[in-house]
């Protein structure tokens, strides 16, 4: 598999992955700037000296760098010829020597050949389009290979021509299926490929150098990156919390821009219409502005187009993951993702275990935040996760809740300080997390309170997008047996990065690794729930384990820590009750069917280029989606949709705005609803067993 490219929030910095094609006709080959060689030597030195892994750049890594760089340039093996690859082999074991000598010749030579091949390919396609849309035979039974990561490079120009004939035919067919006329398709594709030509011509030596250096840093781990001055500016902007946009983490995926993650509480998140792995193919300004095709664009250029002033509108044309390739348009109102919009919020609901009803408090925590500026000014009212949750706990205490669910789903982390301090509210004095540094020294973060603020029944709800600080908190709660962890296996990011200055740009480098008090790393494996819920996100494509070069899971010595509930005696009974309750639950049946369906779609290896077959495939997809939804509606006593068009209309276009924390609702959240019933069962069972510690009953 290809290494996933790290992207950034428009909140984030961007690593330029291949993806922007172009054409340079008679442009001179790019050559290194004078300081890039010394910067490369400096990067090698800092990686060897400071990185957690302490790997030397030698012949073996040179071979890996060769593979990684070529894959970064041509992941679909569509531009280079096999003869090019054979020619490049002369550098396979010498790239390390070049870098140590402050030489980046190999990186530029390979890139310039790639640039030439891409330019020729774009010229060829545009010359065809200038004569009119090619007369493709859409009745022919042939297909396009979707995953070419292990395929051979074309052996000749004619073999490459046939591959690109299929790629162009697929693009035309995709657009035909959206209802566009041949003239509209020709105009759109001309604009697309001319745009790629222009962006290729705009590539400069800094772009090449950054791509080459990041092929090296990714060999150490996916979170170590070289940031050029331009990327550093984007990164600093993301850290300022003043960035205005839609709130999404994007990454390059071949010629597409893909949604990697949504910022909790951000405009995109609020639409409910965008999911991780959705592809963005068009961006339109305002409610009626021209939709600009962004297939093949540089990642940072797509971000610049989406980014905009708060209060303005942007339209995204997407290809939803797991769908039939049909495009979807989503209208979003840009806004700043403010600290208060990501603040903890609460709600109280009532659940029964079949014998008794319980009041369950829910605290939703989108991120681990702290207003560092106010904190440094010693503002007594500075905002932080721990302070807000403490206030909510006091309010829930006044409402006499019987238990609390802390919802960390989609919480990508944040302040380590806040993650450890938050445990102060739930666990008596003791260690929370261990950190092993590159020098192998281990430091521990301990909670400081002698007595927890909340001592009642607790559940932590996580999913695949719960990462970093969320995993530290959830892992501590689990290791102490302080409460149940329910949901899905978390992301698995258990590493810490720091910024190292360079002569040109900066190096973000992994220097430490998190470990739980049990000694288990949160890296790669994440936190596994005590009670699993249906998956909504494919763990093979999202999460630390999806990165080829992710640091491995391991363990160190455990540290002494208390145990609260004897959960081993309770969990089997809770799982039995959960499984029995959800076996016939319409929402859970739908969630499982939906995940199965999307997994099947993601596993496709080939795409038919026969129009009748594609239309039938789309009809089958639509009917299956409609059938799944109508089964759910019928089981819930709701009127089924008459047809797929009626179903689509129900998924009407919404405008996302920012206006304070989102209200917690159960009716659209079957996972949270079921978590409430599990909590009711938990409280009921804990009350019956003498193995529950006395303090559990003392709120």
Q: What residues are annotated to the active site?
A: 468, 479, 493
CB-side neighbour CA atoms (13 Å) of 542: 29
Please answer whether residues 193 and 126 qualify as being in contact, where contact means their C-beta atoms are separated by less than 8 angstroms. Answer: yes
Please answer whether residues 255 and 78 qualify as being in contact, where contact means their C-beta atoms are separated by less than 8 angstroms. Answer: no
Q: Other CB atoms closer than 10 Å to residue 43's CB: what's the count?
A: 25
Distance CA 268, CA 249 (A): 10
How many helices and strands, by DSSP H and E, does the chain display?
20, 21
Please answer whether residues 177 and 614 qualify as being in contact, where contact means their C-beta atoms are separated by less than 8 angstroms. Answer: yes
Q: Other CB atoms closer than 10 Å to residue 315's CB: what's the count?
A: 21
Q: Other CB atoms closer than 10 Å to residue 568's CB: what's the count?
A: 10
Residue 403: CB partners within 8 Å, gap ≥ 6? 358, 360, 361, 456, 457, 458, 459, 679, 680, 682, 683
Distance CA 386, CA 368 (A): 9
Please answer whether residues 674 and 682 qualify as being in contact, where contact means their C-beta atoms are separated by less than 8 angstroms. Answer: no
Distance CA 499, CA 223 (A): 11
Q: Counting beta carbons within 10 angstroms of the beta carbon of residue 443, is it exposed (0 to 12), middle (13 to 18) or buried (19 or more)?
A: exposed
Q: What is the 3-state secondary structure (H, E, C) of 312-365?
A: CEEEEEEECCCCCCCCEEEEEECEECCHHHHCCEEEEEEEECCCCEEEEEEEEC
What 3-state class would DSSP assign to 402? coil
**First vs last C-alpha separation in the chain:** 50
Please answer whether residues 196 and 1 qualify as being in contact, where contact means their C-beta atoms are separated by less than 8 angstroms. Answer: no
With b for 16 or more beta-carbon neighbours within 10 A and e for fewer, the 654-683 pattern comes to eebebeeeeebebeebbbbbbbbbbbbbbb
Distance CA 190, CA 198 (A): 12
Question: Which secondary-structure segment (H or E) carries 245?
Answer: strand 244-245
Please answer whether residues 165 and 625 qualify as being in contact, where contact means their C-beta atoms are separated by less than 8 angstroms. Answer: no
Supply 162's token pair. Answer: 């046939």
Please answer whether residues 477 and 469 qualify as being in contact, where contact means their C-beta atoms are separated by less than 8 angstroms. Answer: no
Q: Are strands 279-285 and 313-319 parallel, antiparallel or unpaired?
A: antiparallel
Distance CA 381, CA 435 (A): 30
Supply 42's token pair. Answer: 């400096």
């Amino acid at each position: 598999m290809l290494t996933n490219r790290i992207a950034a929030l428009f909140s984030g910095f961007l690593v330029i992955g291949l993806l922007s094609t172009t054409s340079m006709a008679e442009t001179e080959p790019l050559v290194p700037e004078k300081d890039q060689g010394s910067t490369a030597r400096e990067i090698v030195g800092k990686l060897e000296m400071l990185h957690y892994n302490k790997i030397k750049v030698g012949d073996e890594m040179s071979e890996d760098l060769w593979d990684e760089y070529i894959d970064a340039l041509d992941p679909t093996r569509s531009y280079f010829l096999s003869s090019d690859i054979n020619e490049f082999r002369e550098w396979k074991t010498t790239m390390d020597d070049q870098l140590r000598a402050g030489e980046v010749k190999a990186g530029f030579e390979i890139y310039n050949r790639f640039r030439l091949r891409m330019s020729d390919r774009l010229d060829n396609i545009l010359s065809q389009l200038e004569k009119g849309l090619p007369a493709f035979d859409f009745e022919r039974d042939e297909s396009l290979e979707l995953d070419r990561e292990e395929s051979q490079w074309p052996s000749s120009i004619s073999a490459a021509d046939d591959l690109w004939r299929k790629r162009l035919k697929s693009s035309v067919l995709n657009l035909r299926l959206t209802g566009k006329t041949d003239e509209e398709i020709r105009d759109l594709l001309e604009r697309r490929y001319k745009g790629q030509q222009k962006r290729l011509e705009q590539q400069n030596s800094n772009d090449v150098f950054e791509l080459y250096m990041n092929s090296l840093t990714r060999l150490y781990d996916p979170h170590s990156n070289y940031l050029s001055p331009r990327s550093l500016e984007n990164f600093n902007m993301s850290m300022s919390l003043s960035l205005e946009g839609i709130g999404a983490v994007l990454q390059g995926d071949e010629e597409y821009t893909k949604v990697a993650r949504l910022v909790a509480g951000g405009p995109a998140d609020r639409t409910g219409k965008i999911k991780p792995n959705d592809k963005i193919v068009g961006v339109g300004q305002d409610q009626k502005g021209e939709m600009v095709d962004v297939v093949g664009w540089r990642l940072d250029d797509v971000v610049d187009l989406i980014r905009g002033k708060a209060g303005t509108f942007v339209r995204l044309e997407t290809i939803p993951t797991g769908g039939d390739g049909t495009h979807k348009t989503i209208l979003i109102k840009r806004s700043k993702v403010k600290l208060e919009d990501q603040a903890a919020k609460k709600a109280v609901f009532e659940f029964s275990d079949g014998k008794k009803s319980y009041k369950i408090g829910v605290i939703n925590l989108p991120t681990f935040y702290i207003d560092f500026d106010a904190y440094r000014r010693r503002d007594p009212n500075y905002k932080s996760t721990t302070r807000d949750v403490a206030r909510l706990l006091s309010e829930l205490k006044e409402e006499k809740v019987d238990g609390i669910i802390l919802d960390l789903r989609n919480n990508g982390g944040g302040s380590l300080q806040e993650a450890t301090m938050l445990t102060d509210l739930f666990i008596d004095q003791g260690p929370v997390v261990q950190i092993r540094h590159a020098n192998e020294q281990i430091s521990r973060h301990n909670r400081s309170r002698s007595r927890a603020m909340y001592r009642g029944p607790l559940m932590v709800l996580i999913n695949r997008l719960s990462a970093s600080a969320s995993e530290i908190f959830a892992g501590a709660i689990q290791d102490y047996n302080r409460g149940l962890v329910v949901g899905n296996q978390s992301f698995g990011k258990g590493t810490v990065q720091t910024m190292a200055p360079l002569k040109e740009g900066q190096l973000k480098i992994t220097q430490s690794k998190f470990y739980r008090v049990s000694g288990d790393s949160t890296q790669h494996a994440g936190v596994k729930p005590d009670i699993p819920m249906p998956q909504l996100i494919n763990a093979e494509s999202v999460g630390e384990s999806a990165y080829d070069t992710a640091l491995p899971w391991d363990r160190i010595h455990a540290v002494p820590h208390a145990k609260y509930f004897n959960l081993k005696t309770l969990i089997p009974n809770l799982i039995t009750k959960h499984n029995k309750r959800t076996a016939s639950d319409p929402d859970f049946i739908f969630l499982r069917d939906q995940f199965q369906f999307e997994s099947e779609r993601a596993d496709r290896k080939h795409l038919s280029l026969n129009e009748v077959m594609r239309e039938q495939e789309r009809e089958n997809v639509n009917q299956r989606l409609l059938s799944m939804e109508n089964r759910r509606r019928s089981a819930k006593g709701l009127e089924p949709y008459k047809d797929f068009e009626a179903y689509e209309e129900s998924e009407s276009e919404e405008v996302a705005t920012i206006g304070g924390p989102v209200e917690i609702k159960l009716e659209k959240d079957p996972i949270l609803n079921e978590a409430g019933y599990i909590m009711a069962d938990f409280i009921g069972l804990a009350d019956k067993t003498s193995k529950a510690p006395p303090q559990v009953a003392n709120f």
